[in-house]
Structures are given as C-alpha cells and as structure tokens.
Amino acid sequence: MIIVTMRLIRRVQPLGCVLALRFLVLVLWDVPASWALDNGLAMTPTMGWLHWERFMCNIDCKEEPDSCISENLFMQMADLMDAEGWKEVGYEYLCIDDCWMAPERDSKGRLQADSTRFPSGIHYLANYVHSKGLKLGIYADVGKKTCAGYPGSIGHYDIDAETFADWGVDLLKFDGCYCDSVEQLADGYKHMSLALNKTGRSIVYSCEWPLYMWPFHKPNYTEIRQYCNHWRNTGDVYDSWQSVKSILNWASFNQKTIVNVAGPGGWNDPDMLVIGNFGLSWDQQITQMALWAIMAAPLFMSNDLRHISPQAKALLQNKDVITINQDPLGKQGYLLRKEDNIEVWERPLSDLAWAVAIVNLQEIGGPHSFTINIASLGQGVACNPACHITELLPVKTKLGFYEWTSYLKTRINPTGTVLLRLESQTM
C-alpha cells in the first residue's frame, strides 16, 4: 500500500527548461554501452528455463525418473512452456546445464549425450523443442572438464561449436572450471565466441568468465562484452534468501564497475530465478522478481513447472514486470540509496519512464513505513514537473498523478519490495 502526501508547487519551472533537462538526461542515459558481441542476439535480456538449481546433477533415472537429467525432463518442460503461457510472455530458451554428456567423446572427438538418459540424442531434442516454438540451450566448459567432471572443451572449441550448430542448439552456457591459468580461461572464452560465430548459426553465448577472473584481478568488462551476450559475476544462486541477498549486495557494491557496461547484446547475469521452489517466502520471491527486472538481468527460471503454484506462476508471468526487464532502452538499474534497512533502486526506461524498487531488508518485526520525496527519483526528472505512478508489486494499483514535490509513504513487508513505474507527464 502507498499513501501520498502532497504540497502545492509554489514555483513551476519554465516548460522549456524542464524539457531541456529531461532531454539531457535521456541523452546521457542513451549513450550506448561499449561495443557488443556482433551476433545480433540478446538485444533484450534472455528469458527461459534452466535445470541446474532445481535438478542439479541428478543422473539416477532408476530411482528418480521424474527428476533426473534426461530428455524426458526437457520434453516435459518444453510441453509446459508451450501450453502454460510461458512462451507467450517471453520465456523462450529451454536450457540444459551440466551432466548431460557421456563420460567420453565419440571416436571422432565430438561430444555426445549420455545414451541412456538421452537415447534420441540432442539433435532430436532440439527439433522437439523447436516444434514447440522454443529454443534449446546447452552447457559446456572452457577447461579440461566440466564442473561435474564431464569432458571439457579445451582443445576442441571449434569442433564443439560445430557440433552444437549441427544439433540445432540456440544457446551455449560456457562454464569456467578446470583451467590452468586466467590466460587460458580468457583465451578459451574468446576462442569459443569466435568459433560459434563462424558456424553461421545464431547461438546466444552465456559466459562465466568474470566469475572465475574476480579472485585474481578485476575483469575487463569492455573486453568480455565484445565476446559474450551475458556473463555471470557471482557464484551459483541457492534456493535461499541469504543467497539472493548476497547477490544483490554484490551487485550494489560493484555497480560502478558493472552497470554501465550492460546494454543491448550484453548483460550482467545474477543467475537463476528460484521463484516457485522451497526456500523463499512470498515477499522474498517478489523481491527477486522485482530486482532482477531492475537489474536488466536474464530471466532463467529454475523450478519444476509441473508442480509450480498458481501464485508463483502469476509472479513469473507478470507482464508489467517483464516489460520493465525487457525495456528496449536497455539500461541496467542501480542502488540509488540505502537508509538503515531500506534500499531504493531505480532504472531508466524508454519514453522517459522509470522503474523504482523500494526494498525492506529488515528480517524481524512487521511491515516498515518509509517516506520518499519523489523529486529525488529518476535523476531528479522522472516526475518533473509531474508523473503518473503505478504500483506493480506486490499488488498492481494505479496510484495516480503526482507533482514533483509529492512524497510517497510506503509500507513494505520484511524482506519484501514495492515496485513502482513512474511515467512522466507535462503540466
């Protein structure tokens, strides 16, 4: 719930000055990010489903046939993404993570799927996924082995890229385990990027390059963006509030480094959405959805679509929130300020609109009231001279018309978020 208190404007800025200021801010925000990977893909953050957090490396199909990593699991998810409205709202990529491979390459040195769990092969699975109007993602590793110990791609970058293209793969998640040096890591990521482009097939390239670089030195994000469509900075997300909170803390602490490099064709990836699982309260699920939208993050769900609650499904399919995430201006949001346990995040959107998320990090007690001067939002111009404000989460509510000197009093549940959309209006 949001309560507004207002005071009359005693001095209205000349309209020409207001428009000039808004135009200047728009121009500054519209400065393109550094040169991106030239494959024409991921012009907005990629959306889809990824198996890892929910299903991990479960290869025991005898004891757990419904949750092991197999073609049956991915075909069932493809059916649901097609039939249950996921594809229509933008969740397009169905992605295989680690543990799909056979323990050894074939006689020609090509990767191959485990013949027991994927008896029809990846090409067949890709065709099945494509028949549902979806795209298939797959996993490999830049080093000697994948993180789970399956064959790595070092020394085989070109043949692996050709194999994925021949199979009809549309996205590659490329992990960074088992490299001998940061130089080998960087060279491998670059080599695979060039190899994928050389195939002539449109394959989104999802890297973990900076994640493995940070322990040694600050990554060169300008360079990374030239080779990757999105890149992981932090370790795997877990189905817990502590994990989600730590990712948000990292993103805000490092925002001066990572925010400006993001944009059409290249995005910071804070990892999977764990909404619809077991570890997050309802308010925490709202927070993850809202902040991933603010951060212009790729939206990869990792959950069981066969058993998701209607409430979690509605949140993940919320078109208003997805519209913010997919905004074509392509600017990543940032932490504006923090006061005690309240954080205010904002993101510039196209058509002079802004998204604002107000987060209550307090984990004890009840809902917390917080009052904010909306003149401080959106670089001071989001509501100058006025704007329409809509609350999108937790409940969509049209809050109405607000002048520049208005104040909003929010009431936010512990670990919850209020997500707002501000749309500029001239007087």
The residues that are catalytic are 175, 236
- Rounded Cα distance, 369 and 411, in Å: 4
Q: Is the separation of the CB atoms in 261 and 209 below 8 Å?
A: no
Residue with tokens 């937790």: 394
- The Cα–Cα gap between 209 and 189 comes to 7
**Ramachandran angles phi, psi of 171, nearest 5°:** -150, 140
Strands (E), 223-364: 230-232, 267-269, 299-301, 334-339, 342-348, 354-360
Cα angle: 350, vertex 356, 358; to 5 degrees: 170
- Return the SS3 of 73: helix
Dihedral (CA of 269, 135, 79, 128) sign:
negative
CB atoms near residue 126 (< 10 Å): 22
Token pair, residue 54, equals 């929910």
How far apart (Å, rounded) are the C-alpha atoms in residues 43 and 88?
18
Q: Distance between CA 225 and CA 231 in Å, rounded?
A: 8
Task: Return the ∠ at Cα 203 (arms to 198 and 209), rounded to 5°.
Answer: 90
**List of residues 6+ apart from 388 with CB closer than 8 A:** 398, 399, 400, 401, 402, 422, 423, 425
Closest CA to 375 of 338, 422, 342: 422
Cβ pair 178, 144 in contact under 8 A: yes
* 3-state SS class at 410: strand
Which of 341, 353, 343, 335 is closest to 420 using CA atoms?
Answer: 353
Q: Quick check: 241 and 291 in contact, CB under 8 A?
A: no
Show the tokens assigned to 388.
Answer: 């329409």
Element of type H or E holding 251: helix 241-253
Report d(CA 275, CA 315) in Å as an integer: 8
